[in-house]
Amino acid sequence: MGGRKWFLDVVAGALLLLVAITAWEKTHDLEWPCEADLYRDLGAAQTIHDGAVGADPAYRGERWWYPPLVPATVALIGRVTEVPLHRLYATAGIYLNLLAPIAFYVMLGVLHGRRVALASLVGFLFLGQHDLMSWMHATYSPWLWSCNLAQAFFYLGVLMLSLAMQSGSTRQAIAAGLFVGMTALAHVAPAMLLAGISLALTLRESIAHRFRGPSFKLALRTLLLVAAVAAVVSSPFWWALVGHYQLRVKNEVPLRWLASELTIERFGELVLRSVSLRGIVAAVGVVGLFWPRGLPRSARRSALGAWGVLAGLGLTYGYVAQRTPLPPLIPSWHFYFYLQALEAVLFGIGTCAIARWTIAAGRALRRVRDPASEALQHRAAEIAIAALLLVVGFRWERYAARPDLVGNREASLVHSRLPAFDLYRWALRRTKPGDVILTDPGTSFWMSAAGRKVVALDPLFSNPYVVLEPRTRDSATMREELAQRRFAQFSGLAEQYRVRYVTLPVAARDAARELPELRRVFKSGRDQGTDVYRIER
Which ranges of 401-508 does DSSP label H, i.e. alpha helix? Answer: 407-415, 420-430, 441-449, 469-483, 487-497
Identify the burial level of 36 via C-beta atoms within 10 angstroms of its C-beta, where 0-12 means exposed, 13-18 middle and 19 or more buried.
middle
Which are the contacts of 343, defined by CB distance < 8 A and separation ≥ 6? 123, 128, 274, 278, 279, 282
Pairing mode, strands 499-505 and 530-535:
antiparallel
Interatomic CA distance for residues 537 and 410, integer angstroms: 44
**Burial classification of residue 457, based on how many CB atoms lie within 10 Å of its CB (0-12 exposed, 13-18 middle, 19 or more buried):** buried
Distances (CA, A) of 209 to 205, 219, 220, 384: 6, 10, 12, 40
Q: Tell me the C-alpha distance between 326 and 320, whole Å.
A: 8
CA distances from 438 to 59, 466, 512, 531 (A): 12, 18, 15, 12
- 125 with 15: CB under 8 angstroms? yes
Q: What is the pLDDT of residue 15?
A: 97
Residue 476 forms beta bridges with which residues? none
CB-count burial class (<10 Å; 0-12, 13-18, 19+) for 417:
exposed
Would you say the C-alpha torsion 91, 96, 100, 101 has a positive or negative sign? positive
- What pairs with residue 533 in β-bridges? 502, 520
Antiparallel, parallel or unpaired: β 499-505 and 436-438: parallel
Which has the closest alpha carbon to 39: 411, 333, 502, 467? 411
What pLDDT score does 294 carry?
Answer: 46
By CB atoms closer than 10 A (0-12, 13-18, 19+), residue 532 is buried
The predicted pLDDT at position 365 comes to 66
Q: How many Cβ atoms sit within 10 Å of the Cβ of residue 529?
A: 17
What pLDDT does 295 receive? 46
Residue 505's DSSP bridge partners are 530
Burial annotation 153-185 (CB, 10 A radius, 16+ → b, else e): bbbbbbbbbbbbbbebbeebbebbbbbbbbbbb
| Distance, CA of 474 to CA of 86 (rounded, Å) | 30
pLDDT tens by residue, the chain, 537 residues: 555 778 999 999 999 999 999 999 999 999 999 999 999 999 999 999 999 999 999 999 999 999 999 999 999 999 999 999 999 999 999 999 999 999 999 999 999 999 999 999 999 999 999 899 999 999 999 999 999 999 999 999 999 999 998 888 999 999 999 999 999 999 999 999 999 999 999 988 888 777 777 888 888 999 999 999 999 999 999 999 999 999 999 999 999 999 999 999 999 999 999 899 999 999 999 988 877 554 445 777 889 999 999 999 999 999 999 999 999 999 999 999 999 999 999 999 999 999 888 887 777 666 445 545 677 777 888 888 999 999 999 989 999 999 999 999 999 999 988 888 889 999 999 999 999 999 998 899 999 999 999 999 999 999 999 999 999 999 999 999 998 888 888 999 999 999 999 999 888 888 888 888 999 999 988 777 889 999 986
Q: The whole model's pTM is what?
A: 0.94
Q: Are 119 and 166 in contact (CB under 8 A)?
A: no
Distance, CA of 352 to CA of 461 (rounded, Å): 44
Q: Which helix (H) or strand (E) holds 501?
A: strand 499-505
* pLDDT computed for residue 194 by the predictor: 97
- Spatial CA neighbour of 344 closest among 150, 114, 111, 129: 129
Q: Are 403 and 468 in contact (CB under 8 A)?
A: no
pLDDT score at 172? 96
Sheet holding 518-522, edge to edge: 453-454, 436-438, 499-505, 530-535, 518-522
The secondary structure of 83-125 as a DSSP string is: --HHHHHHHTHHHHTTHHHHHHHHHHHHHH-HHHHHHHHHHHH
